[in-house]
Amino acid sequence: MSILTDLLFPYVAETQSVIVRVSVSFLADQSQPERGRWFWSYHIRIENVGEQPVQLLSRRWIITDGHGARHRVEGEGVIGAQPVLAPGESYDYVSGCPLDTPTGSMEGTYRMMGADGESFEARIPRFALVGSAVAE
pLDDT of 2 above 80: no
pLDDT of 13 above 80: yes
- Is the model's pTM score more than 0.75? yes
pLDDT digits (tens, 9 = 90+) for 89-119: 999 999 999 999 999 999 999 999 999 999 9
Q: In Å, how far are 8, 21, 84, 96 from 88, measured between CA atoms?
A: 19, 15, 12, 27
Least confident of 4-13, 55-64, 112-121: 4-13
135 and 34 Cβ atoms separated by less than 8 Å: yes
pLDDT of 79 above 80: yes
pLDDT of 136 above 50: no
Q: In Å, how far are 4, 18, 32, 90, 117 from 9, measured between CA atoms?
A: 8, 15, 26, 14, 30
Q: How confident is the model at residue 132 (pLDDT cuts 50, 70, 90)?
A: low
pLDDT digits (tens, 9 = 90+) for 16-43: 999 999 999 999 999 999 999 999 999 9
Arithmetic mean of pLDDT over the chain: 93
